[in-house]
Amino acid sequence: MDNTLPTEFDIIIIGTGLVESIISAAASRIGKRVLHVDTNDYYGGTWASFNLKSLQEQGTKPNEKQFENERCLQIGNDVFSIQDFSEKWHIIEHNEKENVTQTPEDNEKQLVETFEDKVTIQDESKEAKPNVNETKENSFSRDSLLNNSRKFNIDLVPKLHFARGEFVQLLISSNIARYAEYRSVSRVLTWVNNTLEVVPCSRSDVFANNRVSVIEKRMLMKLLTSLDEDDDNYKDNQDKTFLEFLKEKKLTPNLIHFVLYAIARSTDTTSCSEGIASTKRFLNSLGRFGKTPFLFSMYGSGETTQAFCRLSAVFGGIFALDRAQVGLMIEDDKVTKVFCQGQEICAEHFVLGAEKIPKLYTEHLKVNSYISRAVFITESSVMPSEQEHLTLFMYPAENGKPIVTVLELGSLTGTCPKNLFLVHLTAKQTTTPQEDFKHIIDNLFQFNDQSTEDIRKPKILWSCYFSLPETNSSDLKGTNHPPNLFVADGPDLDLDYDLTIKKAKDIFKQIYPGDEFLPRAPDPEEIIFGGEENEKENVEVTDTLQKDTTSLNDNN
Amino acid sequence: MAKTYDYLFKLLLIGDSGVGKTCVLFRFSEDAFNTTFISTIGIDFKIRTIDLDGKKIKLQIWDTAGQERFRTITTAYYRGAMGIMLVYDITNEKSFENIKNWIRNIEENASADVEKMLLGNKCELEEKRQVSKERGEQLAVEYGIKFIETSAKASIRVEDAFFTLARDIKTKMEKKLEASNPPKGGHKLTPTEPMKKPTSWLSRCTLL
């Protein structure tokens, strides 16, 4: 295959994180010639999703190799990449039942088959006699999980989308929605008085919830309705915390908990205006898809960056991944070219993902805060139910620990095999990921290999911890880089992509101030290639296709 | 609104640059041939509804958007695909050899039970042929998939190819349906979904 790239572009983007990918799509969409390069052989950078094996490899990956070229500044730094990665198995290597003498292919096939059989057996035995100890023999092994490695899509940065949030609106208005599929979060949980509770956020939840009395329901409705409709009410409350505000409304402790910690994702010190804004954001997205305000991207959040890259490619953007040697060539304080595997490629503007900034610019940079992350593979849900749930679980801040967002994903999300769950924990880092989440594990989970057994708690089969630097613009502005070089931020702590879109839009507007940001892409049937030889046919074709359009929408 | 089709199949085209994937797509979807689209700009997917054994089947056929050129096809491209057309150019040996790489790529990224089919395109260029029909057939046998030589330009057997692939998917799917597997799926976000401001919390709760 000819690996040579064209050598002239309007804009070169290095890194396939979400901010970079949105800029790529937006520039390509308005007709700019885009080259989009990554040193990784996968899309997404620090926003990627991995299968189980590739995620494990993240821990052992060597740093990007240095290469010798005096004329350019090699890209890549250690400051904004994944930090403190560690992973651990809590199950045996392989089951004795599994015949290891078979050829690897046969073995794999058989394992995949037995994998699901086994689980059914296990479930049945659990129901019949809950105290069985022989489950050990029937349980999962590393081999069985690794043979299903591809069925895992594990996000570095799991995100949810408010059904009427900016991200969903952008997907629809730009027509990028056709590249992705979403599932709605089916329940929101919180931790109150040492138990898990379902947060009532739809009518049926309110009905089902017997922990909320009829009077409380009325109080809750009254509050939420007033928050939703009345803006002036809160000017008097500017100096208060949201907690004080809720207490003044004479809500019961139970209700305060739901509104403050789960619906508004706030802490005891969150200001009233912030709390109200978060509550509104939640309420505004109710009743569009499913029972909760949230959607989750099928096959993981990493698919989102790819959807934007696809749009960029459809409009002519050229993609080159797995390019080991990439550097910036600078003349008179401006980036003039990108050095890419022996080629010198020019462009007017350059965009870099935060983790691609050359070391020279990050030397004096301090990362002010990190995101703590943990991922568990478990064999049951935190709150088992007949149907598979997609669960958002807000764990309130307590005893100096941060608010933790827990996302439990089942196989219907396309991110893990049947009968297993993927649990994502995310929080603003206070100490280390292990410390930040320890209390949650103590309260809700157990490691499969620990000595004491509690049948109510899901067992963790595999665990993984890491930290992600929380970049923010003030950090990056201090880097003193050339003016035609734009730095795209990495992951942030927002539940959705609102901040990300804003950052991408800001950079796009700086580069192309007069142009529209991601106007609607035409539907395929609207594109008519007016060749002389087929002009007549086009009329017919458009006609028949119109019928199809309605059915497409209908289907959806 | 009544559905105007019984099944919707997502199909993909895969193969080296320049083998004529987009031309095959255009021949099938619009019965047109156009050599002017250089590298698939602006072409996302095309739709054609066909009749097959009394069922209306809507085929949504996706093009690579040029991302095959430097092997940067996204994993997202393969999601939910039910059939894949592997295309090579009979006048280009290299494109035939690369089919193996594309198959590996499919195995890594597509669902395990995706229907595949091998297309040797540009069969009107007999005088420039580098890959014999027999070799195409043999490769297809090796992978247990069907094979057909086509010409998008001369409109030879392109219909056949898509009808064959669609029929194989339909057969497989109906077998599965009989085994009563309820389809799973997520929300597709479309602008037709009503965007009205939500009614207030209160009105959604008939309890009060």
**Cα distance from A553 to chain B (closest Cα, Å)?**
7
- From chain B, the residues in CB contact with A319 under 8 A are 67, 70, 72
Q: Which residue of A has its CA nearest to B37?
A: A529
Q: Per the CB < 8 Å rule, is B75 touching A43?
A: yes
Q: Which residue of A has its CA nearest to B7?
A: A555
- Select the residue of A184, A310, A529 nearest B76 (Cβ to Cβ): A310
pLDDT of residue A542: 32
Q: Which residue of B has its CA nearest to A313?
A: B65
| C-alpha A277: how far from chain center | 22
Output the CA–CA distances (angstroms, integers) from residue A401 to A139, A385, A436, A471, in the order listed.
34, 29, 6, 21
The domain A11-81+301-367+472-526 having CATH identifier 3.30.360.10: the answer here is: no
Angle subtended at Cα A229 by Cα A200 and Cα B203, rounded to the nearest 5 degrees: 50
Segment holding A197, helix H or strand E? strand A195-198
- Name residue, tokens 């089709």: B5
The domains of chain B, with CATH numbers, are 7-179 (3.40.50.300)
Q: Per the CB < 8 Å rule, is A299 touching B191?
A: no
Q: Which residue of B has its CA nearest to A36?
A: B72
Q: Half-sphere exposure of residue A538, counting CA atoms within 13 Å on the CB side? A: 13
Residues contacting A451, CB < 8 A, separation 6+:
none
A532 touches chain B (CB under 8 A): no
- From chain B, the residues in CB contact with A556 under 8 A are 187-188, 190, 192
- From chain A, the residues in CB contact with B110 under 8 A are none
β partners of residue B146? B117
CB B89 within 8 A of CB B95: yes
B192 touches chain A (CB under 8 A): yes
Strands A11-14 and A349-353: parallel
B80 touches chain A (CB under 8 A): yes
Q: Which residue of B has its CA nearest to A303?
A: B76
CATH class of segment(s) A86-161+182-187+369-471: alpha beta
Query: Which residue, among A409, A498, A425, A504, has the nearest Cα to A468 in the 3D structure?
Result: A425
Model pLDDT for residues B136-145, shown as the tens digit of each residue: 999 999 999 9
Output the CA–CA distances (angstroms, integers) from residue A517 to A32, A278, A481, in the order listed.
13, 26, 25
Query: What is the rounded distance in angstroms from the CA atom of residue A128 to the CA atom of residue A117?
Result: 17
- From chain B, the residues in CB contact with A283 under 8 A are 198, 201
B49 touches chain A (CB under 8 A): yes
Query: Which residue, among A263, A265, A271, has the nearest Cα to A241 in the 3D structure?
Result: A271
- Select the residue of B3, B65, B205 nearest A206 (Cβ to Cβ): B205
Query: What is the rounded distance in angstroms from the CA atom of residue A519 to the CA atom of residue A510?
Result: 17
Residues contacting B115, CB < 8 A, separation 6+:
B82, B83, B84, B165, B168, B169, B172
- List the 462-521 stretch of A: residues with Cβ below 8 A of B: 521
Dihedral pair phi/psi, residue A146, rounded to 5°: -70, -30
B144 touches chain A (CB under 8 A): no
Say what the pTM is. Answer: 0.87
**Cα distance from A143 to chain B (closest Cα, Å)?**
18
Angle subtended at Cα A426 by Cα A270 and Cα A400, rounded to the nearest 5 degrees: 50
A548 touches chain B (CB under 8 A): yes
Query: What is the rounded distance in angstroms from the CA atom of residue B140 to the CA atom of residue B120?
Result: 11
- Select the residue of A286, A287, A295 nearest B187 (Cβ to Cβ): A295
B180 touches chain A (CB under 8 A): no
CB A521 within 8 A of CB A311: yes
Output the CA–CA distances (angstroms, integers) from residue A467 to A84, A139, A303, A362, A371, in the order listed.
6, 30, 21, 18, 5
> Residue-wise pLDDT tens for chain A (556 aa)?
568 999 999 999 999 999 999 999 999 999 999 999 999 999 999 999 999 999 999 877 766 677 878 889 999 998 899 999 999 999 998 876 654 444 444 444 444 443 444 333 333 333 333 343 444 445 789 999 999 999 999 999 999 999 999 999 999 999 999 999 999 999 999 999 899 988 887 666 666 677 778 888 888 878 877 877 766 656 667 788 999 999 988 888 988 999 999 999 999 999 998 999 999 999 889 888 888 999 999 999 999 999 999 999 999 999 999 998 999 999 988 999 999 999 999 999 999 999 999 988 887 777 889 999 999 999 999 999 999 999 999 999 988 899 999 999 999 999 999 999 999 999 999 999 999 999 999 999 999 888 888 888 999 999 999 999 998 755 666 666 788 999 999 999 999 999 999 999 999 999 999 999 999 998 877 765 544 333 333 333 333 333 332 222 333 3
Tell me the domain boundaries of chain A. 11-81+301-367+472-526, 86-161+182-187+369-471, 202-284
ipTM: 0.87
Query: Average pLDDT for residues B81-105, to the nearest whole number?
Result: 97
DSSP secondary structure, A458-505, as one string = PEEEEEEEEEEE---HHHHHTT---TTEEEEP---S-SSSHHHHHHHH
pLDDT of residue A313: 95
A309 touches chain B (CB under 8 A): yes
Q: Per the CB < 8 Å rule, is A307 touching B76?
A: yes
The helix, strand and coil proportions of chain B, stated in percent and rounded to the nearest 5, come to 35, 20, 45
Query: What is the rounded distance in angstroms from the CA atom of residue A127 to the CA atom of residue A347?
Result: 64
Query: Which residue, among A463, A468, A508, has the nearest Cα to A488 in the 3D structure?
Result: A508
Query: What is the rounded distance in angstroms from the CA atom of residue A375 to the CA atom of residue B30?
Result: 48
pLDDT of residue A516: 97
Query: What is the rounded distance in angstroms from the CA atom of residue A298 to the CA atom of residue A390?
Result: 11
Q: Which residue of B has its CA nearest to A229?
A: B200
pLDDT of residue A23: 98
B69 touches chain A (CB under 8 A): yes
Q: Which residue of B has its CA nearest to A222?
A: B202
User: CB pairs under 8 A, 24+ apart, for A495-499?
Assistant: A495/A159, A495/A160, A495/A162, A495/A265, A495/A294, A495/A405, A496/A159, A496/A160, A496/A161, A496/A162, A496/A165, A496/A166, A496/A167, A497/A18, A497/A159, A497/A161, A497/A166, A497/A167, A497/A304, A498/A165, A498/A166, A498/A167
- From chain B, the residues in CB contact with A53 under 8 A are none
Query: What is the rounded distance in angstroms from the CA atom of residue A362 to the CA atom of residue A476?
Result: 9
B54 touches chain A (CB under 8 A): no
- Predicted confidence band at B203 (pLDDT cuts at 50, 70, 90)? very low
Output the CA–CA distances (angstroms, integers) from residue A127 to A130, A174, A377, A455, in the order listed.
6, 49, 22, 12
- Select the residue of B71, B76, B188 nearest A303 (Cβ to Cβ): B76
A530 touches chain B (CB under 8 A): no
Please give the CATH architecture assigned to the domain spanning A202-284.
Orthogonal Bundle (1.10)
pLDDT of residue A207: 64
Q: Could you list the beta-strand ranges (E) of A364-458.
A: 370-378, 391-395, 404-409, 421-428, 446-447
Q: Per the CB < 8 Å rule, is B36 touching A315?
A: no
Q: Which residue of A has its CA nearest to B199?
A: A287
CB B59 within 8 A of CB B48: yes
> Is it the case that residue B104 has pLDDT exceeding 60?
yes
Query: What is the rounded distance in angstroms from the CA atom of residue A206 to the CA atom of residue A216?
Result: 10
* Residue type (1 letter), B67: Q
The helix, strand and coil proportions of chain A, stated in percent and rounded to the nearest 5, come to 40, 20, 40
